[in-house]
A and B are shown apart, each in its own frame.
Chain A
Amino acid sequence: MNSPSILIKNLTFSYQKSVAKIAPVVLNIEDFQVDYGEKVFLYGPSGYGKSTFLNILAGVLETKIGSVNVLNNELSKISQAQRDHLRGENIGYIFQIFNLIPYLNIKENIILPCLINKKRGLGINIYEQADQLIETLGLTDHIHKNVTDLSIGQQQRVAAARALIGNPKMIIADEPTSSLDENNTIEFMNLLLSEWEKRKFTLLFVSHDIRLKNYFNRAVSLSEINKI
């Protein structure tokens, strides 16, 4: 159970546009590890290669130098399609804003990951789980609204529900509270962390708001691990 969810060794990454030009190195991480079931706060002001880092962890960007292991998969050794499957089946992802597909309703947005990946949430009733999440996240009253009519706080809660559906092994939250006000931030953090208490997934929470680190066992600064 305590095998690492994320294990990075000597990762170097640059956006290679063509063979002739040598692109500047964006990321250089010698050692980074997140254990399974751990909740980690990653302090990452913009300009430190944050989105590159997250794209690599999610398996969207391909790495050539060093080792990135996510949920026991060496990402450089598996194909793009396999990385897409890994992400779809095992990782929940929350964006900063505009998390929802405008033409789907709340419930459709929530269960969408399970529709795209048949293996996600295999063996559980995702519709029931979606209803439970809607209730726990206090969205029951808004269920008939268009997602575009929801407040940003509500939208982020729907996004959290979508990340949680099908019990993924890991959730990556990329500045999920940065567009929320104080109250909504607290509410969101409490909901997310109470879900973490229940399910004990690996939680990598990225934010530039250093105050939020108190919610976590461990805080890491991207500027410290990224040795460029």
Chain B
Amino acid sequence: MINFLTYKSIKNRKFTSLLCILSIALSVTLFLAIERIRIGARDGFTNTISKTDLIVGAKGGQLQLLLYTVFHMGSAVNNIRMNSYDEIRKNPIIDWTIPISLGDSYKGYRVVATDENFFEHYRFRGDKKVELLQGTIPTETFDVSIGSEVAKKLNLKIGDPIILSHGVSSESILNHENTPFRIISIIAPTQTPIDTAVYINLFGMEAMHMGWESGVPSGAPINPNLYKKENIKITQITSFMVKLKSRIAILKMRRELDQYEKEPLMAIIPALSLQEMWQTIGYVEQILFLVSLCVLLVGILSILISLYTSINERRREMAILRSIGASSYHIFTLLIYESSFLVIIGCLSGVISLYALLFFVRPWLESNFSVYLELQPLSTNEIFYLLGILIAGTLAGLIPAIKAYKNSLQDGLTIKF
């Protein structure tokens, strides 16, 4: 009965009801979308690297080590000697290591020198591996494997020769002209900094700097034989990643590395550092959360306002309902039903448009902001949010409902004009 009246009454005030539903739907969509993007951005960020237990570099800033090793931002002050690396990785508690050598760039994209361990062991977003779209991993001195974004933006394909630049600034004027590299593979998109980097092996890094000991090319011709892998001696790397056989040993290993005697080293736990870093930049997400909360509040207020303003013009209707046997309680429930109906429909349409929105902005977010969103069903958290919105909306209906209840007690069967 009340359902019927609720439905009819809402239908009667189609336009205002529609506006209410629209404002709830919009705010629900906005709220949930911001939530998803927020979580997507955080997960994308903290999952840039996974499985790696420790990142080791020369002593310096912890954040700096994380930034240059994982995000290819900034640069190291000191390097690690190759024999230190060789010694450390022999430790039997170590499962694998990935060496990283940095310092050069290609048209603004960082050059990362590593070895086959990177392609075999590096993991991101849980258990995702670095895959190649085409080609093979760089094993020869002048092999290069490029990130998908680099390939796309610079329109590069397999077989293209490229000249790397010395230093990491995009306006680098010193080029490694004498040591052209050749693209042998393209890495599949990862939505991580890998996409915007150029991968060579450690031999290539060493080879292109032959004769550059002073920081600039000496100009003296280099015997091509020296570029052969067996003739190259790798002397240093920038940092390396470590995976231990047992996670229990992480803290112990970290302490050992921090106190390494032969040169000053430092180890960080990437999972922890990423979280710490996210917290420092995470105030943006809190602001976003607050803003979306405010929008939600406005949506709920719109229901309150629309119902409350309608109460006076509906006094007559309430007296009629009273005359045919409705109790004041009936009048109260009628209004509560109306507000909850509006909120329920609003929430439903909000969720539907959320998925529609995600469906369309997903590729764009992925390619422009490396925010990876899956079209997953509503999470428990989101269901709780929706329940909260439903309760808040129904509570918003309480105020006009109480007003109508009081009116109906006061008016009885007397119709106010």
Contact = CB atoms under 8 A, between A and B. Distances in A.
A88 B8 contact: no
A99 interface: yes
A80 interface: yes
A100 B316 CA distance: 9
B326 interface: yes
Given A58-B413, A60-B412, A115-B1, A80 B320 contact: no
A23 B319 CA distance: 25
B324 interface: yes
A103 B327 contact: no
Interface of B: 1, 4-5, 8-9, 11-13, 316-317, 319-330, 412-415, 417
Nearest to B1: A115
> Closest 10 interchain pairs by CB?
A88-B325, A103-B12, A60-B412, A93-B323, A113-B324, A84-B327, A55-B412, A117-B325, A103-B8, A51-B414
Given A55-B413, A104-B8, A95 B1 contact: no
Interface string A56-86: 0010110000000000000000001100110
A95 B320 CA distance: 8
A139 interface: no
Given A103-B8, A115-B1, A98 B323 contact: no
Contacts of B319: 95
Contacts of B1: 115-116
A87 B320 contact: no
A54 B327 CA distance: 16
A89 interface: yes
A98 B318 CA distance: 12
Interface string A142-182: 00000000000000000000100000000000100000000
A85 B325 contact: yes
B112 to A, nearest CB: 69
A112 interface: yes
A101 B326 CA distance: 13
Nearest to B324: A113
A174 B320 CA distance: 13
18 contacts: A54-B413, A58-B413, A60-B412, A61-B412, A80-B328, A84-B326, A87-B324, A88-B325, A95-B320, A95-B413, A96-B415, A98-B320, A101-B8, A101-B320, A101-B321, A103-B13, A117-B324, A120-B325
